[in-house]
Amino acid sequence: MHDPRVLLDPATDAVRRLARRGFALDLPALEKLFSRRTAVIGQTDESRAESNRLAREVGAAAKRGEDVTEARERAKAVKVRVQELEEEQRTLAAELEELLLDVPNLPSDDLPDGNTDEDAELVRTWGEPPTFDFEPADHVTIGEKLGIFDFARATKLSGPRFAVTRGAGARLERAIAAFLIDLHTERHGYTEFNVPVIVNRPTMTGTGQLPKFEADLFKTGVADRELYLIPTAEVPLTNLHAGETLAAEDLPFAYTANTPCFRSEAGSYGKDTRGLIRVHQFQKIELVRFCTPDRAAAEFDLLLSHAETALRELGLAYRVVKLAAGDIGFSAERTYDLEAWLPGQQRYREISSVSDFGVFQARRAGIRTKAKDGTRGLANTLNGSGLPIGRTLVAVLEQNQQADGSVLIPPALVPYTRFKRVNPDGSVGE
């Protein structure tokens, strides 16, 4: 969420910057609402001071034995006026918050123009996409031939866009998750958390999922409790510090968690209906960092390197792209996508996103900082996928497929799988 004074400051150039991401900011409406609220706050303070003054005068006059009937009426009228102004102030504050909650973050000026993945700017590539002397299959064909996927039974259980893995497939998912958690905690210094995957409305609001994207979320409840299934562990990890003041000298904080994630995929009808690319439920290792704003650029580069290291350790060819201003998430200032090469599709596909949110989420969630010298501010939050289990499995299967239908296991995963190959019949071996 934004400080309205920042949006109204001509130096911010908010209208132009938000237009780059397709959002039309009604600056006159914001200015009118903010000015009215500011005026009412002033009127409330003045009336409250007058009410207190009249109360003292009535008390003093009564002690002197004077007739205070008329003075009490004046004091009563002013007190009523204070209550009316306080109610108007609450109403205006709610209207202002409602307006601001719908305004996305300001995109960085260094992002390219556009609103699709085709408008992204290539940053770098790593690894050579594998070549084959046979027609490479996609992960669905590979997995079903190996007997490690069962999408038909998943549909029977829950409907479309769910998956069942079995045998070596389930083992591979577990191995990928364990490898990634070990990598990020032991080598990259993240603290591992086990967090709730069902959260309340304020928690979803703090990171920007609500109110704008309510239709995209899975919602549940118990009695009168309104609860949501998380779309990413970014939500609970970031909100661990909601309403708190962090000591600036203790930052950065680096958190990770392996959680199920739930997404309705609203607006994706007809896209990636086969396989694990776009499902309603999936596992993901999330990386979240908290820092002071002056450290944001360095922390972004560090976070990006951690996600890239995961792909490199697995030997997966990938590229890094800078998303266009109109294609970044609601809460982000900038986002880089990591895209793994998928031979079955003959294209790069997103496997991780790394985003800098500036102080946008911290303002919504009330995550503040205080330095030793007393300087106060808001925390800068960042997050990235490090990595999603399902899409990583997709890349592993497709990039390591063999002519006989088997799949070789990346050496980094072998200590976790305890096998080096999935044979054509689904069995495992050296």
pLDDT digits (tens, 9 = 90+) for 304-337: 999 999 999 999 999 999 999 999 999 999 999 9
Is the peptide bond prior to 252 cis by the omega test (within 30 degrees of 0)?
Answer: yes
| Same structural domain, 58 and 171 | no
Which residue in this structure is represented by tokens 């893995």? 165
**Residue 364: active-site member:** no
| Same structural domain, 206 and 65 | no
| Same structural domain, 95 and 127 | no
Residue 15: strand, helix, or coil:
helix
Nearest one of 192, 215, 189, 191 to 204, comparing CA atoms: 215
Catalytic residue among 86, 121, 144, 350: 350
Q: How confident is the model at residue 226 (pLDDT cuts 50, 70, 90)?
A: very high
**Residue 16: active-site member:** no
**Residue 36: active-site member:** no
| Same structural domain, 133 and 92 | no
CATH of the domain at 57: 1.10.287.40
Which residue in this structure is represented by tokens 């580069």? 301
Residue 269 has pLDDT above 60, yes or no: no
> How many CB atoms lie under 10 A from the CB of residue 7?
21
Which domain covers residue 292, as residue numbers?
Answer: 117-429
> What does the pLDDT look like over 340-369, one tens digit per residue?
999 999 999 999 999 999 999 999 999 999
Q: How confident is the model at residue 71 (pLDDT cuts 50, 70, 90)?
A: confident
Catalytic residue among 48, 81, 201, 278: 278
Q: What is the DSSP letter of 114?
A: -
Report the pLDDT averaged over residues 248-255: 98
Mean per-residue pLDDT of the chain: 95
| Same structural domain, 74 and 128 | no
| Same structural domain, 77 and 139 | no
Residue 132: strand, helix, or coil:
coil
| Same structural domain, 66 and 123 | no
What is the sign of the dihedral through the CA atoms of 124, 130, 135 and 140? negative
Total domain count, the chain: 2
Report the pLDDT averaged over residues 1-24: 96
Comparison of pLDDT for 417 and 272, the residue scoring more: 417
pLDDT computed for residue 267 by the predictor: 58
| Same structural domain, 224 and 301 | yes
> Would residue 107 count as lying in a domain?
no
Distances in whole angstroms, Cα of residue 128 to Cα of each of 249, 308, 329, 340: 42, 15, 29, 11
What is the sign of the dihedral through the CA atoms of 340, 162, 410 and 345? negative
**Residue 352: active-site member:** no
From 67, 101, 135, the end of a domain falls on 101
Structure tokens at 188: 């990259």
Structure tokens at 385: 């996928």
Q: How confident is the model at residue 66 (pLDDT cuts 50, 70, 90)?
A: confident
Backbone torsion region of residue 147, taken as left when φ is above 0, otherwise alpha when ψ lies between -120 and 50, otherwise beta: left
| Same structural domain, 392 and 423 | yes
